[in-house]
C-alpha cells in the first residue's frame, strides 16, 4: 500500500516539473511569441479585451467628411479607412457632405445616433470660426471629442505664370490681389486676409467650395494667389508649376520639399496659422466606446504606412486625447473670435 502511494506521488511530481518546463521555454504563453505582441504595428491585446467587453464594433463605421472628395481631409479619412480593420476590427464608409465651409455636413451630423457607428472628420475652423460668421445650428459642445490627428501647415502660393516671387512683388504690382480659399472663415481665408491687410496690399476675396478648386484657379491664372496645405500642393511644388510665397508658421517646415520656404514671421509679419484636424462623435456616445476609438486611432497614427504618408506629404502628426482636444479647441474659439472681430468678419 505504501509503495503504491509513493508511485502516485512520483507521478504528480513529474507532472508539476513538466508544466514548469513548458512555461519556462515559452510554449505555455502565446504572448512570448516575438512576432506577436512585440511587433510595432500589432494591435494591443487590451484593445481586444475592450472589444469583447463592449461587444463593439459589430458593423462598419461611417466617417462623415464635411468637404468634397479630393482634399486633404478626405485623403486622410480614406487612409484611416485602410488601417481601420487592423486597429479597430471594422471598416470605414467615408461619406462626403461638402458645402458652406464644412457647416452643411456638420449640421447633418447632429442627427446621427450616439452608438459609435457615426464619426465626424473635422478641422478647427468649423467650430472656432464658422459659428462667428453665420447662424450655425451647432456649437463645439454639441459633439464629443474622440482624438486629434494632425496639425497641417498653411502655405501661400501663386502660379509661376504670374511672375510673382514674393510679398514685395504683390505690393509693387499696383493691382488688387485676388486670393482664393476653401470657403469663408476657413483658415486659408483668414490667414491670407490678415497678411494682405497687414502688408497694406489691396485685395479681393474669392471663395471656393474646397481647396482643390482654389488650387486649380491659381494654376489657370484665374486668381493671383491662394493658401493650402502641403498635401494639396506638393505635386505642383515638385513640378515647378507653383511658387511658394511664404508659410504661416513660427518655424520653417522640416520637409525636404518645403524647408527653404520662409515663414511670414521671418518676413516681418507676425501672423501664425495652421489647420489641426480631429475626429468627433455624437455627444451622448458612451465613454467606453470613445476610449476604444481613441486607442485605435492613436495606434493608426503610429502605423508605418501613416508615418510614410505624412512624411512624404509634409503633414505633422499631432495625436490629442479627448481632453486635450477640448482644451485646445476652447482656446482657439476665443482666439478666432477676437481675430474675426479685428478683421471685420464677425457677424453682428
d(CA 242, CA 238): 9
Beta-strand runs (E) in 140-196:
143-153, 155-159, 177-181
Distance CA 205, CA 218 (A): 13
- pLDDT-wise least confident of 29-38, 263-272, 330-339: 29-38
Alpha helices, H only, the chain: 2-24, 45-54, 72-88, 103-109, 124-128, 130-133, 167-172, 187-198, 211-219, 230-239, 287-300, 304-313, 322-342
Q: What is the pLDDT of residue 52?
A: 66
CA 252 from centroid of its chain's CA atoms: 20
pLDDT band at 140 (very low <50, low <70, confident <90, very high): very high
**219-255 pLDDT, tens per residue?**
999 999 999 999 889 999 999 999 999 999 989 998 9
What is the value of pTM for the model shown? 0.78
- pLDDT value at residue 206: 96
For residue 243, the cross-strand partners are 158
Q: Which residue do the cell numbers 507521478 mark?
A: 11
pLDDT above 60 (res 9): no
What share of the chain has pLDDT > 70, as a percent?
Answer: 85
- The structural domains of the chain, ordered by start, are 53-151+275-342 (3.40.190.150), 155-247 (3.40.190.10)
Q: Which residue has the higher pLDDT, 7 or 286?
A: 286
d(CA 179, CA 159): 12
> And the C-alpha cell for 277?
484636424
- The pLDDT score that the predictor gives to residue 13 is 41
Q: What is the pLDDT of residues 52-79, one digit of tens each?
A: 678 999 999 999 999 988 888 899 999 9
Residue 129 in grid coordinates: 470660426
Say which DSSP state 140 is in: G
pLDDT at 283 over 80: yes
Q: Please report which confidence band the pLDDT of residue 38 belongs to, taking 50, 70 and 90 as the band edges.
A: very low
Amino acid at each position: 500500500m505504501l509503495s503504491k502511494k509513493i508511485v502516485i506521488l512520483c507521478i504528480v511530481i513529474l507532472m508539476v516539473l513538466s508544466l514548469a518546463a513548458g512555461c519556462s521555454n515559452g510554449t505555455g504563453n502565446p504572448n512570448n511569441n516575438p512576432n506577436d505582441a512585440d511587433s510595432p504595428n500589432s494591435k494591443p491585446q487590451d484593445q481586444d479585451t475592450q472589444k469583447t467587453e463592449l461587444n463593439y464594433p459589430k458593423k462598419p463605421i461611417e466617417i462623415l467628411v464635411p468637404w468634397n472628395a479630393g482634399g486633404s481631409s478626405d485623403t486622410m479619412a480614406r487612409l484611416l479607412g485602410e488601417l481601420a480593420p487592423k486597429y479597430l476590427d471594422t471598416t470605414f464608409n467615408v461619406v462626403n457632405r461638402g458645402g458652406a465651409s464644412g457647416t452643411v455636413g456638420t449640421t447633418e451630423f447632429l442627427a446621427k445616433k450616439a452608438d459609435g457607428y457615426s464619426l465626424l472628420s473635422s478641422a478647427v475652423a468649423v467650430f472656432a470660426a464658422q459659428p462667428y460668421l453665420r447662424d450655425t445650428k451647432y456649437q463645439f459642445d454639441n459633439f464629443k471629442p474622440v482624438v486629434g490627428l494632425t496639425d497641417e501647415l498653411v502655405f501661400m502660393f501663386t502660379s509661376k505664370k504670374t511672375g510673382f516671387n514674393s510679398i514685395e512683388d504683390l505690393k509693387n504690382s499696383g493691382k488688387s490681389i485676388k486670393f482664393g480659399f476653401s470657403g469663408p472663415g476657413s483658415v486659408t481665408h483668414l490667414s491670407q486676409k490678415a497678411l494682405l491687410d497687414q502688408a497694406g496690399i489691396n485685395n479681393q476675396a474669392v471663395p471656393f467650395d474646397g481647396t482643390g478648386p482654389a488650387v486649380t484657379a491659381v494654376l489657370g491664372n484665374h486668381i493671383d494667389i491662394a493658401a493650402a496645405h502641403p498635401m494639396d500642393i506638393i505635386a505642383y511644388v515638385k513640378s515647378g508649376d507653383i511658387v511658394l510665397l511664404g508659410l504661416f508658421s513660427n518655424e520653417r517646415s522640416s520637409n525636404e520639399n518645403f524647408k527653404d520656404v520662409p515663414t511670414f514671421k521671418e518676413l516681418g509679419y507676425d501672423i501664425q496659422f495652421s489647420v489641426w484636424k480631429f475626429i468627433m462623435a455624437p455627444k451622448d456616445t458612451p465613454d467606453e466606446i470613445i476610449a476604444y476609438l481613441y486607442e485605435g486611432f492613436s495606434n493608426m497614427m503610429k502605423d508605418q504606412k501613416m508615418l510614410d504618408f505624412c512624411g512624404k506629404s509634409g503633414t505633422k502628426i499631432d495625436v490629442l486625447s479627448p481632453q486635450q482636444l477640448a482644451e485646445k479647441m476652447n482656446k482657439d474659439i476665443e482666439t478666432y473670435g477676437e481675430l474675426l472681430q479685428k478683421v471685420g468678419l464677425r457677424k453682428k
